[in-house]
Amino acid sequence: MSSILVYSEQTGTALELVAAAQALAPQLGLSVSAAALGPDAAAQAAELAAHGAAAFSCAEATLAGLDTATVAQALAAIARQADARVVLLGSTRRGRELGGRLAQKLAAGCVTDATSVAVEDGRLVAGRYNLGGATVQREVATTPVTVVAVMPKVFAAGEPAAAPAAITPVSLGLPAPAVKLVETKPKEGESVDLSAAPRIVGIGRGLGKREDVALGEQLAAALGAELACTKSLADFGWLGEDRIVGLSGAKTVPDVYLGVGISGQVQHTVGIAQAKLIAAVNTDKEAPIFAMADYGIVGDLYQVVPALVEKLKALTTA
């Protein structure tokens, strides 16, 4: 039986894609399979199989560094073995490149950074932001095989299946990658995964100077939240690039998002659109962010934020 094949080097993202594939497969008359590659293939395959995807596992030494060209070769071979009609990838930094490489090998149409995937009239339709996030473009591949790289957190991972699916170890005889991994080093400084944060405080150009970032840090600490920012603040060097939310950064799905000094341009709001609750503080009552906020305060952040911090601290100590 033809299948939807799922792959991401990040197990959490792969499980989200398995849930997506399980929702789409019955509408397309396909089964669900998944690939696990690299040194952790056995553990990832077990997790994928536990969630109901027939897993193909390959831990060949040439996959040790997960070189994108080598991974594309491996996935192309597994896709043919699984008779994949659709391949769902995680649209991570690696996944975006992998999508194009794999599509070329499978002579497939390819969509990256998809924010929605659905079946309409028997066809797979993928949505992605266009024109700087101002519109959503809907795309349909006309090729026999479709490759779609889906943004993390678009789908939620499901519960484990009542019985695990089969795991098939595969030997592919992959050639050595052209790029040799010499060593890996941890990234210097602090890093954060905003896509997994349940609470986020976002700060923007409403802050007058770099030292005022401390206000955002105090508010985030009081709320038990991660601190995020617009791209402009990262460009100023006030916060690291991993703190950017929006078209150039993380796409988030927090329970609570509180924006401070952020006008709400679409390049930022595409990264918070899926938040369960949005609150905003801005001096401009016409700021676009208020159009999507559940709660808003029109006021000077230099007065509002200290008051919020004081109130939140009082609530946590009560």
Could you tell me the CATH number of the domain that includes residue 155? 3.40.50.620
Q: Order the strands of the 256-260 sheet from edge to edge.
A: 226-229, 199-203, 256-260, 278-282, 295-298
- 306 lies in a domain? yes
43 and 120 housed in the same domain: yes
183 domain-assigned: no
Instruction: Tell me: do 125 and 232 sit in the same domain.
Output: no
Beta-carbon count within 10 A of 273 CB: 16
Same domain for 33 and 139, yes or no, is: yes
- Domain finish residue from 135, 169, 203: 169
Residue 184 lies in a domain: no
Residues 121 and 243 in one domain: no
The verdict on 313 and 212 lying in the same domain is: yes
Is there a single domain that holds both residue 162 and residue 25? yes
Q: Is residue 158 part of a domain?
A: yes
Cβ–Cβ under 8 Å, residues 6 and 33: yes
Residues 41 and 92 in one domain: yes
Regions of the chain with pLDDT less than 70: 189-190, 318
The count of structural domains within the chain is 2
Same-domain pairing of 19 and 164: yes
Phi-psi map region of 132: left, alpha, beta (phi>0 left; psi -120 to 50 alpha): left
- Cα distances (Å, whole numbers) of residue 307 to 94, 224, 226, 237: 43, 16, 19, 27
- Write down the pLDDT at residue 189: 63
188 domain-assigned? no
- Domain end: 169, 202, 227, which one? 169
Asked if 122 and 225 sit in the same domain, the reply is no
pLDDT for the residue numbered 139: 95
Instruction: Enter the tokens of residue 237.
Output: 């060097």
- The CATH number covering residue 233 comes to 3.40.50.1220
Beta bridge partners of 241: none
* Domain final residue pick, 110, 134, 169: 169
For residue 318, the model assigns a pLDDT of 66
Nearest one of 117, 151, 143, 121 to 252, comparing CA atoms: 151
**Structural domain harbouring 210:** 194-317
Note the pLDDT of residue 193: 86
Is residue 178 domain-resident?
Answer: no
For the stretch 245-261, what's the b/e string if a residue is b when 16 or more beta carbons lie within 10 angstroms of its beta carbon? bbbbbbbbbbebbbbbb
Question: Is 140 in the same domain as 22?
Answer: yes
Q: What is the pTM of this model?
A: 0.83
The CA distance from 100 to 108, in Å, is 9
Q: What's the length of the chain?
A: 318
Q: Are residues 36 and 99 in the same domain?
A: yes
Task: Tell the burial category of 190 from Cβ atoms under 10 Å away from its Cβ (0-12, 13-18, 19+).
Answer: exposed
* Same domain (yes/no): 108, 14: yes
With respect to residue 138, please indicate whether it lies within any of the assigned structural domains.
yes
Q: Is residue 273 one of the residues assigned to a domain?
A: yes
